[in-house]
Amino acid sequence: MILLLAALLALYDVEQGSQTYIRNITQRNSTAELLRDVRSHLDLVENRLQRIVIEPVQKDVQKLEQALTQLSLLLNHLKQLLAQDDSRESQAIANQLQADLDRLHRSGMELVGLRTEVERWFPAIRQMREVTYPHSQAALNQLDILLAEVDEELSAEQRLRVVMSVSTLRHFWSAMASELRLFVSNRFGVFASDASVGMRSRFTNVIYYAEEVKAQINTLKALHEEGLLGFLGAESIDEVESRFTGWMRGAYQISVMLEGSGWRRDVVMLQQTIDPLLEQMRQRLRVINSDSENQSAADITRLTNMARQLTLTMGAMALFTIILVLLAYIFLNRTLLKQIARTALALKQEAQGNLRIVPPPAKLSEMRDLVEAFNEMRRQVHMRQKHLDHMAYHDALTRLPNRVLFRDRLEHALQIAVRDGRRIGLMFMDLDRFKQVNDSLGHLVGDELLKVVAERLQRVIRGSDTAARLSGDEFAVLAEGINDRADMIPLADKVVQALEQPVCIDEHELRISVSIGIAIAPEDDHLADDLIRDADTAMYAAKKQRGSAYRYFAQEMISEAAESLQLENELRQAVEAGQFLFHYQPVVSLWSGELYCCEALLRWRHPTKGLLSPAVFLDTLDDTGLIVRVIDSLLDSLVDQQKLLSRLVGRPVALALNLSPRLLNDPPFCRGLLKRLLEGQFQTGSLILELTEDTLTHELAEANELLQQLKNLGARVALDDFGVGQASLNHLRQFPFDLVKIDRDFIRNVISDSNDASLVQAIIHLAHAFDMKVVAEGVETKGQLAFVQNLGCDFIQGYLIGMPLSAEQAQECAAVDQASGGLFEPTEFLVD
């Protein structure tokens, strides 16, 4: 801004100055022109004067006056012009010029006057008129008087001599005067530069005659002394002589006059007054001109100086600007650019993971902010990186190491174990029925359960052991530094014990069991992945057992696992091929002995292995979800069978269908079932749905609603395998079952085990208390029959009264039953 202002000021200054100077110069140019004009008019005046000197023509006189007037106007104009100028001197000179002009005017006019009056023009003529001529007249008069006075007494000869002498004198005087006149008039004709040559000869004549005159005067004097001249002679001679002397003096004066330059007054005036005056005026004009030129030159110099100064100023400013820019750049570079570059470098290094580069301390506060922001960002990034790293290696939910980290540690532990010749143990565990918990109670509960499991796991393992969550409900524990397999038993026991403790989440009390597979390195395998696979395989073997269990890995398990995989494949094909069917096992009323219902039990007609029971394939079928398709495809046959059996028996015979949690949680299947009921494919009460307790463990509310809907449409609901599950009493209370089926495990020992006996008794009482009928399953002996019958059990199911039969066999039996008036003779079983 300052620079700009300075530049503008300088520019303004120069502009103003240059304008003034240019105006001055322009003015001076007109002055010069005017001066030229004045000069030419001066020339004109001179010219006119010279012409007038040569010949005073009236026309030239007028022109002279015009030129003088013009000159006066020009001078006035000049004065005005100069008045605007600074030069006082010029103004003074102009005033002097004016005065000069006045004088010139006067002199000019005087010259004109001079030229027109001859006597004034030629002073010699006046001299002649006023001096020589009067002397001549006087002398000649005196001579006349002398003649007249000549004495009469004189002899003639004497008289002649006197007359002769006087006449001669008169003659010579006249000649002398005449020569003088000629001398004077001769002057006009001689305009040679050296007029004296012609003039001198003429004056010599004058002198010659003057000599003669003088000689005659002497002769006269002699005559007088002879006494020839009378009384007044001496006086006259004296008079003549003095006149002669006067005349001669005058003549000499004229001679001098004519031989000198002043013979003409006009020329004299021209030379002595006018020419100097003109010269003086010209000189003055020159002074003014040169003064004006000097000033112009000074102005031009000043203008040039100004331009130079401006150039210098501009140059200085440009230099200053460059320096300023340079300084600014240096400053910027030091305070900003370098910082930015180094911060950028730090950023780049940071991005490449080099954490040592730190942005330099900043000088500028903005830069400091930037660096601080960078450091803050770096802190945050590191924190997040740490967090991400942690996340990458840890399970977000349980905060346990994840599979990646676990595998890493396992690998590391394996190396050390191999090096030190020690063993490590790997426990692979999977929670039982976790999926059901998740599906029925929701993921939040599932997550909580997993967290509890993780906490408990960490609590029971040693500090040197690693617990990890591998996926979903799969956990693993790495135990380092063990000596042999047996060392894993206490750990496995502790884990099982810890996990079997009931878990309370919200209002739910959950009991979980865990299946554990154990593998030992280096015996089983010495590669991490192989070891994990081994423990996983062992875990699957453990899964086959009810409740919590652990199994050591054994090589044959691999083939078992392979078999299970093969089974899965076979099952898929079997589903496609429709190799599934129902067998029907009768359930008989202990009160009437009549067939109450038949339970539909799934069978697989294996192309090579024959008819297979659910124990072989049901878990896999359920795990893969194939069960839904299988049961769905068999529902039509179930409907037909129910109708057929009812017709054959002659009264409605119900069919019991087992619903696994999988089926109950499959909306399309449930909708299909509801639809069939709605369409009346099953008559009221002719469909019994059997659910195990774990179906009810989770999402009870939803299950309840569905069951209620099914019940409303005429289905009946039975609680299957009662007594095996958990919180059984709760379940009885929570849903209005029509039937409770006591698990065959209890029935089996009912005679031998008093605990079981009292449990069965309690169940029957309880069920009746809730207004539910009771079915005793797996009744194989009459003893068992009698026992349950005594306790008031309502129905029995078991090999004692009927094996599961094919549909056709069941129909045949029904027909026989109809024919015999009851397949199962109640009296046969009734205890009195």
Q: Write out the DSSP string of 666-719.
A: -HHHHHHHHHHHHTTSS-TT-EEEEEEHHHHHS-HHHHHHHHHHHHHTT-EEEE
Contact partner at residue 725 from ligand C2E, Ca ion, none, CB < 5 to 8 Å by partner kind: none
In the chain, how long is the greatest CA-to-CA distance? 258
Question: Is the C-alpha dihedral spanning 792, 797, 798, 802 positive or negative?
Answer: positive
Contact partner at residue 588 from ligand C2E, Ca ion, none, CB < 5 to 8 Å by partner kind: none
Around Cβ 679, how many Cβ atoms within 10 Å?
A: 10
Question: Is the C-alpha dihedral spanning 331, 332, 333, 334 positive or negative?
Answer: positive
* 720 contacts Ca ion (rule: CB under 5 A): yes
Residue 160 contacts residue 244 (beta carbons within 8 Å): no
* 745 contacts ligand C2E (rule: CB under 6 A): no
Which one among 618, 751, 766, 786 touches ligand C2E, defined by CB under 6 A?
618
Binding part of the chain for Ca ion, among 263-271, 339-347, 714-722, 803-811 by CB under 5 A, reads 714-722
Closest distance of CB 400 from ligand C2E, Å:
35
| Nearest CB to ligand C2E, comparing residues 442 and 614 | 614
Q: Can you tell me the distance from the alpha carbon of 675 to that of 682, in angstroms, rounded to the nearest whole number?
A: 10
| Nearest CB to ligand C2E, comparing residues 480 and 599 | 599
Q: Tell me how many helices (H) and strands (E) the chain has.
A: 31, 17
* 690 contacts Ca ion (rule: CB under 5 A): yes
Which one among 525, 570, 721, 794 touches Ca ion, defined by CB under 5 A?
721
CA dihedral 37, 41, 42, 45 (to 10 degrees): 180
Q: Can you tell me the distance from the alpha carbon of 94 to that of 281, in angstroms, rounded to the nearest whole number?
A: 10
Closest distance of CB 695 from Ca ion, Å:
12
Scan for tokens 């399309």, then name that residue.
668
Residue 407 contacts residue 529 (beta carbons within 8 Å): yes
What string marks each residue from 622 to 661 as x (binds Ca ion by CB under 5 A) or -?
------------------------------------x---
Give CA 303 to chain center in angstroms.
48
Closest distance of CB 782 from ligand C2E, Å:
12
| Nearest CB to ligand C2E, comparing residues 334 and 544 | 544
Q: Can you tell me the distance from the alpha carbon of 278 to that of 282, in angstroms, rounded to the nearest whole number?
A: 6
Can you name the residues that pair with 656 across neighbouring β-strands? 599, 688
Closest distance of CB 789 from ligand C2E, Å:
15
Contact partner at residue 474 from Ca ion, ligand C2E, none, CB < 5 to 8 Å by partner kind: none
Around Cβ 745, how many Cβ atoms within 10 Å?
A: 15
Give the H or E element holding residue 805. strand 805-806
Q: Which of residues 630-669 bind ligand C2E (CB under 6 A)?
A: 658, 660
Binding part of the chain for Ca ion, among 283-291, 317-325, 525-533, 776-784 by CB under 5 A, reads 776-784
Contact partner at residue 29 from Ca ion, ligand C2E, none, CB < 5 to 8 Å by partner kind: none
Nearest C-alpha neighbor of 604 from the set 562, 639, 575, 636: 575
Can you name the residues that pair with 549 across neighbouring β-strands? 515
Beta-carbon contacts of residue 723 (< 8 Å; ≥ 6 apart): 742, 743, 745, 746, 759, 760, 763
| Nearest CB to ligand C2E, comparing residues 536 and 694 | 694
* 799 contacts ligand C2E (rule: CB under 6 A): yes
Which one among 615, 667, 668, 832 touches ligand C2E, defined by CB under 6 A?
615
Q: Can you tell me the distance from the alpha carbon of 724 to that of 740, in angstroms, rounded to the nearest whole number?
A: 12
Closest distance of CB 689 from ligand C2E, Å:
10
Q: Which of residues 584-613 bind ligand C2E (CB under 6 A)?
A: 585, 600-602, 613
Contact partner at residue 1 from ligand C2E, Ca ion, none, CB < 5 to 8 Å by partner kind: none
Closest distance of CB 537 from ligand C2E, Å:
25
Q: Which of residues 487-526 bind Ca ion (CB under 5 A)?
A: none
* 291 contacts ligand C2E (rule: CB under 6 A): no
Contact partner at residue 602 from ligand C2E, Ca ion, none, CB < 5 to 8 Å by partner kind: ligand C2E
Contact partner at residue 618 from ligand C2E, Ca ion, none, CB < 5 to 8 Å by partner kind: ligand C2E
Closest distance of CB 596 from Ca ion, Å:
14
Amino acid present at 32: A
Contact partner at residue 780 from Ca ion, ligand C2E, none, CB < 5 to 8 Å by partner kind: ligand C2E
Closest distance of CB 613 from ligand C2E, Å:
4
| Nearest CB to ligand C2E, comparing residues 570 and 721 | 721
Closest distance of CB 598 from Ca ion, Å:
11
Backbone angles phi, psi at 79, to 5 degrees: -60, -45
Contact partner at residue 660 from ligand C2E, Ca ion, none, CB < 5 to 8 Å by partner kind: ligand C2E
Question: Is the C-alpha dihedral spanning 607, 608, 610, 612 positive or negative?
Answer: negative
Q: Can you tell me the distance from the alpha carbon of 457 to that of 492, in angstroms, rounded to the nearest whole number?
A: 10
Beta-carbon contacts of residue 147 (< 8 Å; ≥ 6 apart): 162, 163, 166
Token pair, residue 165, equals: 């002498």
Beta-carbon contacts of residue 119 (< 8 Å; ≥ 6 apart): 125, 126, 129
Closest distance of CB 666 from ligand C2E, Å:
12
Can you name the residues that pair with 429 across neighbouring β-strands? 475, 516
Closest distance of CB 697 from ligand C2E, Å:
16
Q: How many residues bind ligand C2E (CB under 6 A)?
A: 21
Name the DSSP class of 401: B
Closest distance of CB 694 from Ca ion, Å:
13
Q: How many CA atoms lie less than 13 Å away from 218 in the CB half-sphere?
A: 6
Interface residue list for Ca ion (CB under 5 A): 658, 690, 720-721, 777
Interface with ligand C2E (CB under 6 A): 585, 600-602, 613-615, 618, 658, 660, 720-721, 744, 777-780, 797-799, 804
